[in-house]
Amino acid sequence: MSVFPSPRRILLAGLLLAGWLVAGVPAHAAEPDAAQRAAFRQAYAAAQQGGDGWRNLAGGLRDYPLYPYLQAAALQHDIQQLDRASVESYLAQYPDWIPAADLRRAFLLELARRQDWATFLALYQPGLGDTLACDALQARLAGGGTLEFEQDLAGLWAKPNLPDACDPVLAAAHDQGLLTDARLWTRIDRAADAGQAGTIANLASWLAEPGRASALQLAQALRDPAAALNAARGWPDQPRQRQAATLALTRQARRDTDAADTAWQQLRSRFSFSEAQRNQILQTLALYHATDFDNGALAALIALPPAAQTDGTREWRVRVALAQQDWNAVLAGLDAMPASQQQDGEWQYFRGRALAALGRDDEARRLFDAQADKPTFFGFLSADRLDQPYAICPLTLADDPQREQALLANPGLLRAFELYAVNLPKLARREWARALQDADPATQRVAADMANRRGWYDRAVFTMSSGDALRLYDLRFPLASQDGLVPQAEQAGIEPAWAYGLLRAESAWMSDAQSGADARGLMQLLPATAALVAKRNGLDWGGGDTLYDPVTNIALGTRYLAQMAARFGGSPWLASAAYNAGPNKVEQWLAARGMLAPDLFIATIPYKETREYVARVMAFSVIYDWRLRGDTVMPMASRLGAIGQPYALPTAAAAHRTVACPAEAAATPAGAASVSP
């Protein structure tokens, strides 16, 4: 069965596709060979060192599709020595190329550094970001021009934070009298909402007293809410001081809820807080007492005024009740949610759990039955409750040779494929995005399939993200046997399906993924952690950049995952939580709520990211188990062993659950716009 158009529709779509592709593009050339790619890598490395040495290595690459990237890399390295003619020559030769846009941006930044404003204005184009927009305004000022607020500054002014390049422009605007108190306060309020204390402090200097002091109080509320709350006892009861006190109370609640409570008791009668401010304070205090599972948290959430209730407070009312296993309170909390929130799979499942605990089995069974046909964490848990097969309804992408041929005539897409082949994935993704920016979903799916066949797995993961495409499991959950995950997991003593599920959740198969904390590669390891794992297991360690090599990353990631599992009795779900939040945090949660059943414990993890991460990893593990086995999987309930119960790897004799496609899903017509995932 296929969800894609009939051959007749494909032919019509192929004709329409011509408007999207570049007119007159010749038939695609033969794919470059390994020797050309090796030569390009060598020449590119030389080009990144600047100069013309790369040319001697690129003699046979004039017709290679990425040849212009070589000259651009050399020019980028030599940017401080470049003249206008060299840059304009490249821009004229490759006007629509991504490297040309990058070179223009880099040279404009260099011209701004040189303060060569005449050349800057000759090469500048709007839409290159805030830094260059401010440099362009500075160039105009340098030529004797002036500023107009609405035309030149209104767009920038709406942003809570701006780059340093904007400082001289804003100073000039101030000197021109454009930054009125009203405009300053508009931006200060926007910065306060965004938590940008530095912006507020900078703007405060342009305010006269007492406005300056009021703005600095807002900045202090963001930077040091405890100090601001202490100082607030001496502040006048004025609108700006009430704003700062509200901000400080809500910020402090995130850091120390008890201290924020004490400050609230001291300040609530001192300031004439508005109803909205009081509700914001009460809501935040109740929410953070709830995430700490403090005594009285449930009562505080229930007592919140209706206007202070949010989806977050209602959600945590249920989570606290689940932690207490107060099933009547769980049902009351669910009933207090709006209908749209109640329909979420998690809350449908926990309503069923509460009803079952209260002996209302028929009602519970109906809820579990409604969830059991979904290939999700709560769908699998519901199927376990009913002892039913897991509902996984795979689809296969239909062959579409006409569309594929059209894509192979798209030079940008071919460049994307080639950049990936020479291990330049960041540049490859940029070419991909540009090449497919106007493509329809069907074309994007075919392109993703083509990428998948080239080993570029993350394109399918990101493209197949909604509707019927969610059922293209072979593309969304690749096995990538060449990276050695199965043997590495087995050597580490962990289940391959679980390792696959965690890898998929960590990086979505982006081998060059890098987090803000510097976790790297497929299994998102910190270099320091990877070095310790390598030493502990006698594995080679070549430094942090080797984590971008899938084979190295998987070898180290599976060992670290095994290390986390050993710390928690082999439990894959607790080890997944530790992998995400850190083992010390998990041990704190276990000390507080370690008596709970696994599904309740997961629901009461304070961190939303970790809570959803564990559910995602465990659901992905089921799907990968099915991908590896075929018709049966290990039940989710078996993976969610009770806390304190040692977990053993499944054996061939272990109980397995069958996988089936419900009749209503199997009967879905091809091309349907919406199908259950």
User: Between the CA of residue 351 and those of 285, 382, 598, 636, 660, what are the distances in Å?
Assistant: 26, 11, 16, 19, 25
pLDDT at 631: 83
Cα–Cα distance, 44 to 413 (Å, whole number): 20
Per-residue pLDDT tens digits for 105-155: 999 999 999 999 999 999 999 999 999 999 999 999 999 999 999 999 999
pLDDT digits over 216-257, tens only?
999 999 999 999 999 999 999 999 999 999 999 999 999 999
Judge whether 334 lies within some domain.
no
Token code pair at residue 661: 């496609």
**How far is Cα 132 from Cα 111, in angstroms, rounded to an integer?**
10
Neighbours of 280 (CB within 10 A): 18
Residue 248 near residue 225 (C-beta atoms within 8 A): yes
Q: For residue 26, what are its two tokens?
A: 């010749």
Model confidence at 18: pLDDT above 80: no
CA distances for 242 relative to 196, 233, 495, angstroms? 18, 11, 56
Residue 431 φ/ψ, nearest 5 degrees: -65, -40
Res 28: pLDDT? 52
Percent residues over pLDDT 70 in the chain: 94
Does the residue 539 lie in any domain?
Answer: yes
Render pLDDT for 399-448 as a digit per residue (tens, 0 to 9). 999 999 999 999 999 999 999 999 999 999 999 999 999 999 999 999 99
Give pLDDT tens digits for 445-473.
999 999 999 999 999 999 998 899 999 99
3-state class percentages of the chain: helix first, strand second, coil last, to nearest 5: 65, 0, 35
pLDDT, residue 29, reads: 62
Q: Is 80 exceeded by the pLDDT of residue 293?
A: yes
Gap between the Cα atoms of 473 and 55, Å rounded: 45
**Is the residue at 121 inside a domain?**
no
- Tally of domains within the chain: 1
Does residue 633 sit within a domain?
yes
Of all residues in the chain, the percent with pLDDT exceeding 90 is: 90
Q: Please check whether residue 381 lies inside any domain of the structure.
A: no
Average pLDDT of the chain, as a whole number: 93
Q: Is residue 228 part of a domain?
A: no
- Rg over CA atoms, the chain: 29
Amino acid at 416: A
- Domain limits for position 633: 481-660
Its pTM stands at: 0.91
Q: What is the CATH number of the domain that holds 649?
A: 1.10.530.10
Q: What angle do CA 575, 569, 639 make, to 5 degrees?
A: 60
Residue pLDDT, tens place only, 478-508:
999 889 999 999 999 999 999 999 999 999 9
Check residue 448 and give its pLDDT: 97
Residue 2 has pLDDT above 70, yes or no: no
Burial 585-610 (b: 16+ CB within 10 A, else e): bbeebbeebeebebbbbbbbbbeeeb
Domain contains 639: yes
Banded model confidence at residue 670, pLDDT cuts 50, 70, 90: very low
Please give the pLDDT value at position 651.
82
Tell me the C-alpha distance between 589 and 592, whole Å. 5
Stretch 44-54: mean pLDDT: 97
514 within a domain of the structure (yes/no): yes
Q: What is the pLDDT of residues 303-348, one digit of tens each?
A: 999 999 999 999 999 999 999 999 999 999 999 999 999 999 999 9
